[in-house]
Structure formats: C-alpha cells, structure tokens
C-alpha cells in the first residue's frame, strides 16, 4: 500500500485539488481515496490501469464533496469575477505573458472542462481511459474536449488574445 501511495498520491491529490479548489479538502479526500483503494483491492480486476481506477474513485469523492459544500460558498464563476476585478498593476503586467494568461483561463474553466483537460494533457489518459474515469461514451469525451478547448479560446479572446480558432 505504501508503494502504491508513494507512486500515485501526488497526481491523485492534484487531480482532486483542481476539482475542489481547496487544499485541506483535497488532502482529506486523498486519504479517503486510498482507503477505498485498499478496501476494494480485491475487486480490482486489472482491466484498466491502476491510475485510471484510482482517478475514477478520486473523481467520485471530489464531486461528492463539491455537492456537500454549503450554499453560501462562492460559486466558481463568482470567484473568477472577483479575481478579475481585483487586478493590481502587477497582476495586469503578468497577464501580458501569454503563458500566465493561458493558465489563468485554464483555472477559470468549469469543473467539467477542467477535468477533461487535466485528464488528457496532464494525466495522459487516452480517449478510452478518460471515458472510463468520467463515465461517458468515447465520442462524448472527444466532443467535451473540443468544447473545453473552444471555451478556453473564448476566455483568451476576452483577455485580448485571439488565437484564430475555432
């Protein structure tokens, strides 16, 4: 179990953190994820990669935690708008860097879009694996990725960067 934890905990933590956007919650969730992995080890049939199995457990835990959040907490869109309004000169200067801007827009995507982008680009999941983790058909994975990228382009355009796509 230690080996499994050492090998996968950082990636699982980052996946969860990008979904719940709270360090303490993400840390609590990864111990729950690995406890489930330990409990269900006997049921794991090895038809998919271990990391794919773990990420699907992590996703379920993260989304359940998001649903439990008190209603008075800021929703994602409100949080993003607040950040935009509080731009100081330093932030405004940093925004001129395209990379920084792209990362800000990646953070501003919806949970659904952040999740698919991370799974494909960072966690290196194939179409089939992403479909298994998210629980949607493979064709929907491709479409969702397309719309996530399209939304990213729109957000960049709002910040003054026109990528000429889509």
Q: In the complex, which residues of this chain contact other proteins (CB under 8 A)?
A: 1, 3-5, 9-11, 13-14, 17-18, 26-28, 30-31, 34-35, 38-39, 41, 44, 46, 48-52, 98-99, 102-103, 106-107, 117-118, 120-122, 124-127, 142-143, 145-146, 149, 152, 163-165
CB of 28 to other proteins, least distance (A): 8
In the complex, what is the shortest distance from the CB of residue 162 to other proteins, in angstroms, rounded to a whole number?
A: 11
Pair 55, 119: CB distance under 8 Å? yes
Axis crossing angle, helix 23-40 with helix 50-68, rounded to the nearest 10: 130
CB of 96 vs other proteins, minimal distance in Å? 13
Q: Give the Cα separation of 28 and 13 in Å (integer).
A: 10
Phi, psi of 151 (to 5 degrees): -65, -40
Whichever of 62 and 71 has its CB closer to other proteins, that residue is: 62
Question: In which residue are the tokens 């479909």 written?
Answer: 131
């Amino acid at each position: 179990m230690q080996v499994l934890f050492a090998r996968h905990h950082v990636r699982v933590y980052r996946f969860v953190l990008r979904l719940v956007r709270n360090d303490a919650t993400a840390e609590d969730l990864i111990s729950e994820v690995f406890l489930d992995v330990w409990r269900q080890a006997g049921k794991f049939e090895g038809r998919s990669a271990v990391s794919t199995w773990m990420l699907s457990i992590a996703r379920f835990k993260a989304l359940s935690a998001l649903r439990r959040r008190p209603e008075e907490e800021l929703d994602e869109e409100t949080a993003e708008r607040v950040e935009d309004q509080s731009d100081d000169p330093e932030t405004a200067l940093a925004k001129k860097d395209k990379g920084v801007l792209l990362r800000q827009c990646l953070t501003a995507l919806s949970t659904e879009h952040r999740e698919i982008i991370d799974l494909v680009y960072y966690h290196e999941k194939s179409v089939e694996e992403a479909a298994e983790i998210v629980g949607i058909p493979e064709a929907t994975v491709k479409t969702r990725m397309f719309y996530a990228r399209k939304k990213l382009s729109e957000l960049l355009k709002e910040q003054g960067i026109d990528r000429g796509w889509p």
